[in-house]
């Protein structure tokens, strides 16, 4: 007999936590992955510390603190389960080491931001919508201080180009807010809107940022694209506080005027590692 899936309990827990005002984007992904792991194992009965630590240690991340983060997410979930299933084993805090505090943000220089946008403008297809999408998206994060998830969730109706305002709906702690735009940002978003509609049609609904192939720009897709660009630019932690991350764009020093970059066509590519795409 197939044991019941743990996924419904995970969704129940996430709904409970969101009701308290938590966004839970990363924990949600981790806990769903943990539940699928438990299902694959065919585990029966209460959760055990051995099961939780085994999954936490299976991380393929190069970050040595990732197993501790994974176990911390399961620990909170196990505490919730223990309220209705007392036999649930709750992993003790610090079992796989201390979860590090939020690291210091990398502050992008103007030269770094210019290099990032220039490389984004060279994404394929060169004459397609994708490079325009990423140049505009990265620029908007740097200009407004939006979080990655907030930029991805923007609907067309959330972008008021006449008033020069963005509406951010139910972000951190389930709060909404209005974000005013500098005129240069409004102009850039208006140009992007025209490019997007020329490639994909001017439908009244849908996400503001998209590509030809994908109607939704997801955080995971943006992270992968950013990581690819970072490798091409050979950005590491050497000489910096830490390796630049896409999240750090919101801390860009000049957060008012929309950055600009040359049109993708005719831009000379930056030096790439040998054998790179």
Residue among 70, 130, 147, 250 flagged as catalytic: 147
Is residue 32 annotated as a catalytic residue, yes or no? no
Q: Look at residues 277, 256, 258, 266 and name the one whose alpha carbon lies nearest to residue 137.
A: 258
Residue among 167, 169, 172, 207 flagged as catalytic: 172
Is residue 147 annotated as a catalytic residue, yes or no? yes
Q: Which residues are catalytic?
A: 147, 172
């Amino acid at each position: 007999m197939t044991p019941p899936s743990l996924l419904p309990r995970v969704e129940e827990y996430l709904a409970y936590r969101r009701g308290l005002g938590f966004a839970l984007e990363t924990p949600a992904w981790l806990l769903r992955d943990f539940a699928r792991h438990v299902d694959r194992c065919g585990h029966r009965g209460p959760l055990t510390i051995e099961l939780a630590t085994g999954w936490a240690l299976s991380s393929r991340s190069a970050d040595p603190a990732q197993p501790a983060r994974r176990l911390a997410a399961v620990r909170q979930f196990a505490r919730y389960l223990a309220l209705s299933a007392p036999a649930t084993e709750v992993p003790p805090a610090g079992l796989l080491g201390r979860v590090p505090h939020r690291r210091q943000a990398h502050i992008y220089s103007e030269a770094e931001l210019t290099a990032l946008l220039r490389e984004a403008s060279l994404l394929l297809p060169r004459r397609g919508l994708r490079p325009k999408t990423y140049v505009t998206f990265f620029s908007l994060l740097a200009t407004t201080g939006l979080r990655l998830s907030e930029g991805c969730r923007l609907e067309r109706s959330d972008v008021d180009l006449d008033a020069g305002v963005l509406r951010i709906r139910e972000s951190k702690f389930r709060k909404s807010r209005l974000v005013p735009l500098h005129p240069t940002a409004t102009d850039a978003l208006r140009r992007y809107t025209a490019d997007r509609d020329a490639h994909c049609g001017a439908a009244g609904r849908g996400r503001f940022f998209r590509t030809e192939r994908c109607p939704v720009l997801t955080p995971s897709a943006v992270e992968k694209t950013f990581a690819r660009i970072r490798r091409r630019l050979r950005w590491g932690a050497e000489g910096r506080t830490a390796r630049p991350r896409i999240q750090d764009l919101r801390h860009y020093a000049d957060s008012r005027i929309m950055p600009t970059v040359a049109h993708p066509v005719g831009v000379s590519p930056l030096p790439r590692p040998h054998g790179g795409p």
